[in-house]
Chains A and B, each alone.
Chain A
């Protein structure tokens, strides 16, 4: 049985831990608010961009861009967008579980975020490159990643590029998701189906003939790189929002658990202390009686 001193020491240490998790929770909460705002603010733009892309692709006719070339998929690149730091609940392990589903032979991984690259190194997968992104993702960071994978694709080193990331649903739910980045033709279908209703509207509008100024090809060739960069940027924003939300929730749970533990330990401690006092009184009174 633990002595009162042991109990006191444990209470103190749990208190220390709870202070740390509480602080992390606060930090994550404030970052979460900003990151969520950024992710949600970017969505209308992303939706509009997808609509426009869908229409342009539908109207571009025979025009084809090297980035749209569909080949038989022999080798695939997967961009794994994870976090840099841990302590964010099951977010990363969910991601890694998805990542482990790709076969090791014909997949090259591109890690964005340190946790992902650690996992890939540990499981000995092909890691082609490693990128980082800041707490507030920058557009230029998205651009470098896109540039790298687009190069791989254009050099025919890979035949398709997937992105594996955590999509932000709300503060309590984040879902690992796979999206096809390249070739571009496939993206149109997958992104258009975010909601059933939207897809309907899109198909209708796709039927109308659009005029292009100066020409479909020119609009297209300037839209395409921008589209890819933005897609990637939005994904970084979503991942960040997910990370901070997940961490906030995880830390809140940790703090709550620590509180409960402190409460239980304190109860035990007080019981023991009281038992000690009772015993002492008993001893004193029985001694007095013996003397008397």
Chain B
């Protein structure tokens, strides 16, 4: 194995994840991308979706919201408005959030509110996707 990557996932509230990993798969704005150590320095945006992390040969998943990612040879730094580990997702809550957001979309909203509600909707959908895929 050619070393490890330091993966940092940071939200405005806290540092959610900060560990050495072997591989990261993240939902880039131009599609899913996998990152190994010694990656070319890259800066891009992430969209709400799923991050797969491989550490010691074990895969684990996180749900993320939209944000930005900075990749260097030995470090991946993701800043996003939401990041939750698959095990910590509360499916009922996410489902409720999704329905609430959908209901609000039917109301009359200003442009700003609309953007906020849309973002909330995408976040809850991402959580649900991750949770459902990893249920055993």
Q: Which residues of A contact B (CB under 8 A)?
A: 38, 41-42, 44-45, 48-49, 51-52, 55-56, 59, 139-140, 143, 205, 208-214, 219, 222-223, 226, 230, 233
Do A56 and B13 touch across chains, with their CB atoms under 8 A apart? no
- Min CB gap A134→B, angstroms: 16
- Which of B10, B29, B30: most chain A Cβ within 10 A? B10
- Which of B43, B70, B112, B116: most chain A Cβ within 10 A? B43
Q: B12 an interface residue at 8 Å Cβ cutoff?
A: yes
**A59 contacts across to B, CB distance below 8 A:** 43
Do A210 and B42 touch across chains, with their CB atoms under 8 A apart? yes
Given A51-B70, A214-B30, A222-B45: A41 and B40 interface contact (C-beta under 8 Å):
no
Do B10 and A48 touch across chains, with their CB atoms under 8 A apart? yes
Do A49 and B79 touch across chains, with their CB atoms under 8 A apart? yes
- Residue in A49, A143, A210 whose beta carbon sits within 8 Å of that of B43 in the complex: A210
- Residue in A44, A45, A205, A219 whose beta carbon sits within 8 Å of that of B45 in the complex: A219
- Min CB gap B40→A, angstroms: 6
Q: Which of B1-33 contact A (CB under 8 A)?
A: 8, 10-15, 28-30
Please classify the interface of chain B as helix (H, G, I), strand (E, B), loop, or mixed, using the class held by over half of its residues.
Answer: strand
- Which of B8, B44, B79: most chain A Cβ within 10 A? B79
- A interface footprint on B31-49 (CB within 8 Å = 1, 0 otherwise): 0000000001111110000
Complex-state Cα separation, A221 to B99, whole angstroms: 31
- Jot down 28 A-B pairs with beta carbons below 8 A, ordered by A: A41-B12, A41-B14, A42-B13, A45-B12, A48-B77, A48-B79, A49-B79, A51-B77, A52-B77, A52-B79, A55-B43, A55-B70, A59-B43, A140-B112, A143-B112, A209-B41, A210-B41, A210-B43, A212-B43, A213-B44, A214-B29, A214-B30, A219-B43, A219-B44, A219-B68, A222-B45, A230-B12, A233-B12
Task: Using A205-B72, A226-B68 as known contacts, list a sample of 4 further A-B pairs with CB atoms less than 8 Å apart, ordered by residue number in A.
Answer: A45-B11, A209-B41, A213-B29, A233-B12
Complex-state Cα separation, A212 to B112, whole angstroms: 28
**B13 contacts across to A, CB distance below 8 A:** 38, 41-42
6 closest pairs, A vs B, by CB?
Answer: A213-B44, A211-B42, A41-B14, A210-B41, A45-B10, A45-B12
**A44 contacts across to B, CB distance below 8 A:** 10, 14-15
Complex-state Cα separation, A59 to B44, whole angstroms: 13
Q: Which residues of B contact A (CB under 8 A)?
A: 8, 10-15, 28-30, 40-45, 68, 70, 72, 77, 79, 112, 116
- Which of B41, B112, B116: most chain A Cβ within 10 A? B41
Given A55-B70, A140-B116, A205-B72: A42 and B12 interface contact (C-beta under 8 Å):
yes
Complex-state Cα separation, A45 to B14, whole angstroms: 8
**B44 contacts across to A, CB distance below 8 A:** 212-214, 219
**B112 contacts across to A, CB distance below 8 A:** 140, 143
**B8 contacts across to A, CB distance below 8 A:** 48
Do A213 and B15 touch across chains, with their CB atoms under 8 A apart? no
**A139 contacts across to B, CB distance below 8 A:** 12
Complex-state Cα separation, A219 to B15, whole angstroms: 23
Q: Which residue on chain B has the smallest CB distance to residue A40?
A: B14
Do A211 and B40 touch across chains, with their CB atoms under 8 A apart? yes
**A214 contacts across to B, CB distance below 8 A:** 29-30, 44
**A223 contacts across to B, CB distance below 8 A:** 68
- Residue in A41, A45, A205 whose beta carbon sits within 8 Å of that of B79 in the complex: A45
Given A222-B45, A233-B12: A213 and B30 interface contact (C-beta under 8 Å):
yes
Complex-state Cα separation, A209 to B71, whole angstroms: 12
- Residue in B14, B15, B28, B68 whose beta carbon sits within 8 Å of that of A52 in the complex: B68
Do A211 and B41 touch across chains, with their CB atoms under 8 A apart? yes
- Min CB gap A143→B, angstroms: 8
- Residue in B11, B14, B72, B116 whose beta carbon sits within 8 Å of that of A208 in the complex: B72
Q: Which residue on chain A has the smallest CB distance to residue B11?
A: A45
Q: Which residue on chain B has the smallest CB distance to residue A46?
A: B12
